[in-house]
Amino acid sequence: MKSLISFSVGLIFAIGLGLSGMTQVQTVKGFLDIFGNWNPALLGVMIGAIGIHSIFYHLIRKRSSPLLETKFHIPNRKDIDKKLLLGAALFGIGWGWGGICPGPGIVASLSGNYYVITFIISMISGMIFFKLIEKKLTNI
Amino acid sequence: MMNAILGGILIGVAVSIMLLFNGRVTGISGIVAGAISPAKNDWFWRMTFLLGLLVGGLLLKIFHSQSLEQISSAHFGDYIFAGFLVGFGTLLGNGCTSGHGVCGISRLSIRSILSTITFIIFGIISVAIFKALRGGL
């Protein structure tokens, strides 16, 4: 049942990304191109998604547990470390350079565009590389 | 702009369903990372989520194919560079646009707010440099 829920969530999420234009590199790059011909679409997505989820989040967290699990798995860290900011900076550079982040990349990967497939293979390589050197990064 | 807000609402509904039923944050980089190096009993829901994204992509391809058309001045090597940084950076920083940008900001997590500000600023700088080098977006 949990797997069926997560399948449906993935499906709805993908349709939302496609409808909003986030599955196109030009929309994402256009949002980040504030010195050029700025495209505010991504701001609309953030407003829609955060607007809805911030209401539901607080309603759902009034429950003692989710419907299909015994407890919530929500990160509760509050510390600001260098990894958080360095990781966000590296992600931001890659996101702007390619115009793709993980969700839209996966959604668009079966469209037959070799550039998107290249991006996804490289993204997974970057993740595997991180896992390999993760233990050496503890003193950052 | 209306489509963007509607798409955003669908995303907000999707991540709320995940929280209500499975009690989880819909952070796509984290779900992918957990799917490639799985812990016990923590693999199948990740794979079905990713399958949902792929099936959604196929439906878009069939019914709304213009939503998957890419227009960019980027070369092959640009996507290798971009993908690697996205994969490495999202794991180092514990999240991407979905986990930090949507889920984290909705619960007013200070880490997610700072992460989102940081990746947007570096995204803006990156696009500016890209445009200067490649002559287009």
Q: Which 3-state string (H, E, C) describes chain B?
A: CHHHHHHHHHHHHHHHHHHHHHCECCCHHHHHHHHHCCCCCCCHHHHHHHHHHHHHHHHHHHHCHHHHCCCCCCCHHHHHHHHHHHHHHHHHCCCCHHHHHHHHHHCCCHHHHHHHHHHHHHHHHHHHHHHHHHCCC
- Residue A45 corresponds to which amino acid? V
Confidence of residue B40 (pLDDT cuts 50, 70, 90): confident
Q: Residue A30's beta-bridge partner residues?
A: none
Q: Which two tokens stand for residue A74?
A: 């929500």
Cβ count near A97 (within 10 Å):
25
| Candidates B22, B59, B69, B113, partner chain A, best to mutate (most A CBs within 10 A) | B22
Q: Is A73 helix (H, G, I), strand (E, B) or coil?
A: strand
Mind telling me how many Å the CA of A58 is from chain B's nearest CA? 8
Count up the domains in chain A and report the number.
Answer: 1
Closest CA to A91 of B31, B82, B25, B36: B82
Alpha-carbon gap, residue A112 to B16, rounded angstroms: 31
Q: Which residue does chain B place closest to A12, by CA atoms?
A: B14
Alpha-carbon gap, residue B119 to A120, rounded angstroms: 19
Q: Does B42 touch chain A (CB under 8 A)?
A: no
Q: Are A110 and B108 in contact (CB under 8 A)?
A: no
pLDDT tens-digit readout, B76-133: 999 999 999 999 999 999 999 999 999 999 999 999 999 999 999 999 999 999 999 9
Closest CA to B84 of A100, A28, A32, A111: A100
Dihedrals phi, psi of B34, to nearest 5 degrees: -70, -25
- The confidence score (pLDDT) of residue A83 equals 95
Alpha-carbon gap, residue A93 to A34, rounded angstroms: 15
Confidence of residue B7 (pLDDT cuts 50, 70, 90): very high
- The confidence score (pLDDT) of residue B26 equals 96
Average pLDDT for chain B? 95
Q: Does B72 touch chain A (CB under 8 A)?
A: yes
- The confidence score (pLDDT) of residue A112 equals 85
Closest CA to A45 of B98, B16, B86, B123: B98
Q: Is A99 helix (H, G, I), strand (E, B) or coil?
A: coil
CB < 8 Å from A in window 86-125 of B: 86-94, 96-98, 100-111, 114-116, 118-125
Of B12, B80, B124, nearest to A32 by CB-CB distance is B124
- The percent of residues above 90 in pLDDT, for chain B, comes to 92
Q: Residue B74: which region, alpha, beta or left (left: phi > 0; alpha: psi -120 to 50)?
A: beta
Question: Is 80 exceeded by the pLDDT of residue B12?
Answer: yes
For A116, residues 6+ apart whose C-beta sits below 8 A from its C-beta are A100, A105, A108, A109, B70, B79
Mind telling me how many Å the CA of B31 is from chain A's nearest CA? 10
pTM of the entire structure?
0.95
Question: For residue A55, what are the domain limits?
Answer: 2-137
